[in-house]
Amino acid sequence: ISSLELTRSVLDRIDGVEPKVNAYITLDRDGALAQAAAADTQRQRGEGGSLCGIPLSIKDVLCTKGLRTTAGSKILEPFIPPYDATVVEKLRNNGAVILGKVSMDEFAMGSANENCAYGTPKNPWNLAHVCGGSSGGSAASVAADECIASLGSDTGGSIRQPASHCGIVGIKPTYGRVSRFGLLAYASSLDQVGPLAKDVRDAAIMLGAISGYDPRDSTSVNQKVPDYTAALAPDCKGLTIGIPKEYFGAGLDPEVDEAVRRGIALLEEAGGKTVEISLPHTEYGVAAYYIIAPAEASSNLARYDGVRYGFRDHDQDELLEMYRHSRSQGFGEEVKRRIIIGTYALSSGYYDAYYKKASQVRTLIVQDYAKAFSQCDLLVSPVTPAPAWKIGAKIDDPLSVYLSDILTICTNLAGLPGMSVPCGMSSSGLPIGLQLQASHFSEEKIFRAAYALE
Ligand code: GLN
């Protein structure tokens, strides 16, 4: 099959299901067909990389040269980046076909993709339910066959949680493994780009394509990129699998608990040895994260002032009024809430009580993991306390949405890699994911266990 045929069939699929799913913010039909034709020429010449001719969707938080990039926000509605994010450039160099930009919670703040200025994508398994977030459009587009794979970003779970809710594979790499250059920053010490894909092998190919040192990102790490597909062995022999007891606590949906425990049994059958682990500071993860992430966001989002790029309220002639009106109209409710929390937490007199305290908790979480990984290779757990909720069910209750991030947030606070891989279905027909976490730069162990589960 040629790339042109494949891309056309994916575009047809998009035409068929997009009115129901609403995963895309911007579809670049002509651009995709031109890239597909170029990929076919490359293939005929025996050139082109691991993704040559493969149609992908990209979360709208990654800059794409000449293609609108909104971050799900009205404030960036007219923004057309003059450059590609490093990860996008790497995909293009590999011959990938970029179909367009997919939906997300505004500036990646959210867990259900209900905070998007361009509408909420639906869960392809049940259109009445959320697809998760913030990389909801990425997950929905993969699950609904509106692309072959996608790129998302994960600050506190935004790749793993929607992957879990949509029954696909998503991996958040080690902090520093993948360049953040051209990723519109939410919380710079936590953000990381990663793939969402239909299976473990696809995720391994995608991660291999985007990983590696980038001098344009000062936090990128100069370490050799392994061939992740070489790690895909059918067994788990020699791997010690830790079961963190705090991840199976009160509030866990019994069907999720059961599905994950079945997954653990499969890992044991595949030769893995299990051991109980304790990560005692897990319960403080949400509180620490919801200080640190908004604090960093309040600073990162200061650049959207109506002057440099994006939306401006042209009715104001006075500079400060123009800033105020542009930001008030350009940002949505959740983003404003985070800016206020972050600004408050960083204000003089409060810094020690909030930001400093949260940073200390972060260190304790890092130490918990270090101790755990001296006893095991991998940590296996649920990704979310429950399957995807109904659209609108939590719209007036941000705190309960924050609390639902409890199982994914600590990974980011410690900069570790984590994956969601499907492990079952709820009785109501919604997917359930299993989470695998490992020590820094141990993505290969994650891929190996996930592959054994498939
Ligand atoms: N739900 C979390 C938040 O709203 C995580 C989002 C993310 O990983 N980008 O901050």
296 lines ligand 1 (CB under 6 A): no
In tens, the pLDDT along 275-330 reads 999 999 999 999 999 999 999 999 999 999 999 889 999 999 999 999 999 999 99
Atom 10 of ligand 1, nearest CA residue: 109
134 catalytic residue (yes or no): yes
Q: Which of 61, 105, 175 has most ligand 1 atoms within 8 Å of CB, for mutation?
A: 105
DSSP class of 316 = -
CA of 416 to the centre of ligand 1 (A): 16
Backbone angles phi and psi of 432, in degrees to 5? -130, 135
Tell me which of 105, 403, 405, 413 to substitute to probe ligand 1's pocket, judged by most ligand atoms within 8 Å of the beta carbon: 405
Structural domain range at position 85:
3-231
Answer whether residue 331 is part of any domain.
Answer: no
Question: Tokens 């509605």 label which residue?
Answer: 77
154 lines ligand 1 (CB under 6 A): yes
- Give dist(CA 386, CA 379) in Å, integer: 19
Give domain status of residue 119, yes or no: yes
Strands (E) across 245-310 are located at: 273-277
Pairing label, strands 240-244, 378-382: parallel
Q: Is the dihedral of CA 216, 222, 228, 230 positive or negative?
A: positive
The tally of domains found in the chain comes to 1
- Residue 130: is it exposed, middle or buried by C-beta count within 10 angstroms (0-12/13-18/19+)? buried
Residue 375's pLDDT is 98
Give pLDDT tens digits for 24-56.
999 999 999 999 999 999 999 998 899 999 999
Is 292 among the domain residues?
Answer: no
- Give pLDDT < 50 ranges for the chain: none
For the question of an ipTM over 0.90, the answer is yes
Q: Which candidate, 371, 419, 369, places its Cα nearest to that of 172?
A: 419
**pLDDT at residue 296, rounded to an integer:** 98
Closest CA to 208 of 44, 36, 38, 93: 93
Is position 59 annotated as part of the catalytic site?
yes
Q: Which amino acid is at 343?
A: T
Tell whether 85 is covered by a domain. Answer: yes
Please state whether beta strands 273-277 and 378-382 pair in parallel, antiparallel, or not at all (unpaired): unpaired
What local confidence, expressed as pLDDT, does residue 415 receive? 98
Residue 73 lies in a domain: yes
Token pair listed for 190? 């936590």
pLDDT of residue 309: 85
Residue 337 lies inside a defined structural domain of this protein: no
Query: What's the CATH code of the domain at 89?
Result: 3.90.1300.10
In the set 57, 158, 404, 420, the catalytic residue is 158
Does any ligand 1 atom lie closer than 6 A to the CB of residue 108? yes
153 classed as catalytic: no
User: DSSP 3-state assignment of 273?
Assistant: strand
Rounded distance, CA 96 to CA 82, Å? 20
- So what's the pLDDT on residue 250? 86
Hey, what are 260's tokens? 């994950």
Asked if residue 339 belongs to a domain, the reply is no
In a domain, 202, yes or no: yes
